[in-house]
Amino acid sequence: MKPVDIRLLKYAGAARGFILLSGMIGVVQTAVTVAFAWMLTDAVTGALGGRDVTASLLWLLALAALRGTLIAASDAAGTRAAAKTGMQLRAALISAVGRLGPGWLAQRSQAGLAVTAGHGLEALDAYFARYIPQLVLTVIATPVLVAVMWWQDWPSGLTAIITLPLIPLFLILIGIATRTVQRRQWQTLQRLAARFADTVQGLSTLRLFGRERRAAAQIEHTADEYRRETMKVLRFSFLSGFAMELLASLAVALIAVAIGFRLLSGDLSLEVGLFVLLLAPEAFLPIRQVGVQFHAAAEGVAATEDVFEVLDAAEAREGRVGRVHDSAPIAPEAADSTRSGTSRLSHAELRTGGGRDLVVTELRVRDLPPVSFVAKPGTITLIEGPSGAGKSSLLAALRGAVEFDGAATVGGVDVRDLAPSEWLAWSGQRPQLSRGSIAANVALGDEAPDADEVRRALDDACAGDLDPALELGVQGSGLSGGQAQRVAVARALYRESRRADAVLALDEPSSALDPDTEARLWASLRRRADAGATILLVSHRRSARDIADRTVALGVSV
């Protein structure tokens, strides 16, 4: 684990400001420490010599108050910096996940990301409030204090220079030993969160098959594993603290014994000996505290490493996206040919005032055969085929949920260069509703929802009997499967109506509908297409052919 990861300064401006502030506080603290030791020496030697030490005592009180104020200011600044840095990294993480897209997110543990963005970044408090100030103080105060000791009594300074490197040496050795343990503890916590989230989400299925007790036992086992890993980290932490304290105490004891013998022999004055003896523990204190706080800050640092991994991946992808995607225009007759496999979009001209051509050319997802077609404004392109032919995979590729080979363009722009929200109005087989009103779910993503358009979208999705103000529970609970599907279709219709150039893509929108309701939905889609919409429809229902202008049959040779 790096003491300060340079990426922290890159992605969080609050961290840069806090380290600079810690440096300034460290300089003042070092000066106060030297002045306090000198005044205390003057007060003791003055009292022994029979002098008036009132002024020295007043200075001691003032310096003690100033030192306490500096410590409190450092703690307060660290707490604020941790909060601001956590907010900045959390915002950067959310932005990076959005840029990476659903395809990248589908391959990651969403519960693990939630733990990192929540509990993990909250653990930065110890890192900023206690670890970084001591690290900065070690860089500033320790060399200055050792230099002052050398100036006053070079044998004591030499002893400090010889013994000081032993502390970071042992700290590094213990850190290497504990890094694996700490990382395993953090990964266990993420696995515990993911297992708990999966169990809660699938609890009804587990109960149906009588496996809920086994799932609970697995959670208990993971929680116990996390407890054991935490105890290992604590043991290493205590070992590290003990080693730091022992080495520092031995080093100070060597200096104290040497000073004592030279005082007895008359080779050293009491004033110099006492002053150096007071500075010796202060010279070792910051590096001792770095060792103590190292483990307290480890969890927050582990979380930032996970965040940096995501941010670096987003930057790398943006670098790749910056290249020009090679794609050649295809003739309409070639685009209408049916191929079993994935599709690739080629360049198409943007139609002002209306929809955009969606051109797919030799698009391939995984091991599925390639597919090519052109979906034009004012038409419905039907994608059909047997189960496993790649219908849903095609839409997943277009919305960025999976990687694909080939080309796919909308309005002449590669879809990989666009956010799905910029060109796609989509509804999948799973409704994916959220807590809130039906209207809020339909107008999702619209900062200024139009109530009339929401009602129209519900009517066109054959969900006119639902009250837009009805509040839904978590994951849209409160609706039947068919109702939830119609609300999801209404959401796609609403987005298409709010963006005239959006491509409307529907994946099995009638799978939970009866024939009469399905016929009404097909009629609504036909009216939208006649009004200029570009519609891509995936359906296994033969009735969908009646409204389609073009049919692309995956897995079938024609």
d(CA 285, CA 279): 10
Predicted confidence (pLDDT) per residue in 490-522, tens digit: 999 998 888 878 899 998 888 878 888 889 999
CA atoms within 13 A on the CB side of 314: 19
Q: What is the pLDDT of residues 354-382, one digit of tens each?
A: 567 888 888 888 777 888 889 889 899 99
Give me the helices (H) in 481-552, please.
481-498, 515-530
Using CA atoms, how far residue 63 sits from 32, 67, 248, 464, 554, in Å, is 6, 6, 25, 75, 81
Helices in 153-165 by DSSP H: which ranges?
Answer: 154-163
Which residue spans of the chain are classified as CATH 1.20.1560.10?
6-320
Reference 455, options 465, 445, 370; nearest CA is 465
Query: Taking all residues of the chain, what is their mean pLDDT, rounded to a whole number?
Result: 79
pLDDT at 202 over 80: no
Residue 323 has pLDDT above 50, yes or no: no
Largest CA-CA distance found in the chain, in angstroms, rounded = 112
CB atoms within 10 A of CB 248: 22
Q: How far is CA 492 from CA 49, 495, 509, 557, in A?
A: 90, 5, 11, 31
pLDDT at 295 exceeding the cut of 70: no
Place of tokens 């204190």: 285
The contacts of residue 72 (CB under 8 Å, 6+ apart) are none
pLDDT of residue 326: 40
143, 33 contact by CB (below 8 A): no
Closest CA to 136 of 280, 32, 306, 3: 3
* Choice between 247 and 453, residue whose per-residue pLDDT is larger: 453
Poorest-pLDDT segment among 3-17, 329-343, 390-404, 462-476: 329-343
pLDDT in tens, 106-146: 667 666 777 777 777 777 777 777 788 888 888 888 899 88
Instruction: Report how far residue 440's alpha carbon sits from residue 544's, in angstroms, rounded to the nearest whole number.
Output: 29
The pLDDT assigned to 353 comes to 40
Q: Which CATH class is domain 332-553?
A: alpha beta
Q: Structure pTM?
A: 0.58
Question: What is the DSSP pairing of strand 550-553 with strand 379-384?
Answer: parallel
Integer Cα distance of 499 and 388 in angstroms = 32
Span 187-203, average pLDDT:
78
* Distance from chain centroid for Cα 91: 8
Selection from 463, 404, 402 nearest residue 431 by Cα: 463
pLDDT in the model for residue 456: 92
Tell me how long the chain is: 558
Share of the chain above pLDDT 70, in %: 86
Per-residue pLDDT tens for 203-243? 767 776 777 788 888 888 888 888 888 888 777 777 777 77
As a whole number of angstroms, the distance between CA 269 and CA 418 comes to: 77
If you average pLDDT over residues 281-291, what whole number do you get? 81
Q: What is the pLDDT of residue 174?
A: 67
- State the Cα angle at 418 between 414 and 422, rounded to 5°: 125
Domain 6-320 fold is ABC transporter transmembrane region fold (1.20.1560)
Q: For residues 423 and 501, is the Cβ–Cβ distance under 8 A?
A: yes
Q: For 297-404, where are the alpha helices, taking DSSP H only?
A: 298-321, 332-335, 391-398
Residue from 126, 492, 69, 48 nearest 293 by CA: 126
Task: Locate CATH 3.40.50.300 in the chain.
Answer: 332-553
Q: What is the pLDDT of residue 556?
A: 54
Tell me the pLDDT band of 177, cut-offs 50, 70 and 90: low
Bigger pLDDT: 247 or 68? Answer: 68
Q: CA 86 to CA 12: how far, in whole Å?
A: 8
